Amino acid sequence: MIQVTRSSMPDYEEYCREIRSMWDSHWLTNMGEKHRQLESDLKAYLDTPNIVLYTNGHLALEDAIAAMDLPEGGEVITTPFTFASTTHAIVRKGLKPVFCDIRLSDFTMDPEKIRPLITEKTCAILPVHVYGNLCDTEAIAAIAEEYGLKVIYDAAHAFGVRKNGISAANFGDVSMFSFHATKVFNTIEGGALCFRDSSLTEEFNDRKNFGIRNPQEVVFVGGNAKMNEFQAAFGICNLRHVDEEIAKRRKADALYRRLLEGQKGIVIQKLSPEDKANRHNYAYFPVLFDGYRMSRDEVSDALKAHGIMARKYFWPLTSSFECYRGETFADPSKTSCAGYAAERILTLPLYADLTEEDVRRICAVILEA
């Protein structure tokens, strides 16, 4: 069986050494030594001025939205070509998602389609970096400045990515990262917010800890979203090896391209050249089956019959979820490019331990089935 992803894990003995001191301190949560170390390590790795860790990316995203002081019932322009968390976070914070279509070249929000969606109720833009592809951050920033809108990035797929020398952590007002087990870098579960305004540090720490600033002062109706020490220790270990993991992913990506590029009806996203200023993370390997002799679903079924688990990611669009049926904002027909991609996209298995033999086996099923 080849799964679509496989969690990166540190060496067992390395992790045991990392957590050993916790048996002396008995400090297991509430921002202890490991939490503080990982926060510092990630701040340096992501080259960001401020970072706050969370127990998962979704709660981090909800707090990012809450901290922007957006008006209740306000409209947030976002994309339906994303994981459920993005849309749910907007709705759960009392806001209305307004869906913008995507570019088929990289599956990110199309900035040319943002302006027609702006109304007097628009208060923010929540774009999503998809498959490690960064949005057109310059165009989105220009629109946000013109209309006085907040920009919150869902950067769950963008760990370690850089564009023109700028880390993905440094775009918009806030960027949310997920450290879920399926991601390039993981802390088992986990997440973080990165941001420029250092005054938000105290607020985010308050919000993720019940609003408790000190034993006598509770300043927000907050929740509990603290990363525990075992998660943080796991992340400390994984971060030491993340560049090696990305290098292995890069090799698998390159082999996929050699075997599949040029095949009629198989569309593979183009990646810009890498250098010191521009870096990819090879988080996913999406393939668009567009005019191929088999449909996306037929390819998926053929792979599954051979013990290979690919993923229709993202499908369905969040705007077509059952939980949003009947809502005025839930109209998938208004985002035709996103719908087109959702019906044709398949992410093939990609992880650091994926062997050359496995990649060749996967491609052989696609090309010969």
Largest CA distance in the chain: 68
CA distance 357 to 369: 17
Q: CATH number of 242-368: 2.60.40.420, 1.20.1560.10, 3.40.50.12140, 3.90.1150.10?
A: 3.90.1150.10
CA distance 264 to 275: 30
User: pTM of the full predicted structure?
Assistant: 0.97
CA distance 143 to 140: 5
Q: Where in the chain is the domain with CATH 3.90.1150.10?
A: 242-368
Per-residue model confidence (pLDDT) at position 30: 95
Per-residue model confidence (pLDDT) at position 130: 98
Per-residue model confidence (pLDDT) at position 369: 77
| 168: phi then psi, degrees, rounded to nearest 5 | -60, -20
Interval 250-300: pLDDT, tens: 999 999 999 999 999 999 999 999 998 999 999 999 999 999 999 999 999
Interval 84-125: pLDDT, tens: 999 999 999 999 999 999 999 999 999 999 999 999 999 999
Q: Where in the chain is the domain with CATH 3.40.640.10?
A: 12-100+107-236
Q: CATH number of 12-100+107-236: 3.40.50.1220, 3.40.50.1370, 3.40.640.10, 3.40.50.300?
A: 3.40.640.10
With beta carbons less than 8 A apart as the criterion, state whether 310 and 3 touch.
Answer: no
With beta carbons less than 8 A apart as the criterion, state whether 342 and 316 touch.
Answer: yes
Structure tokens belonging to residue 123: 């208060």
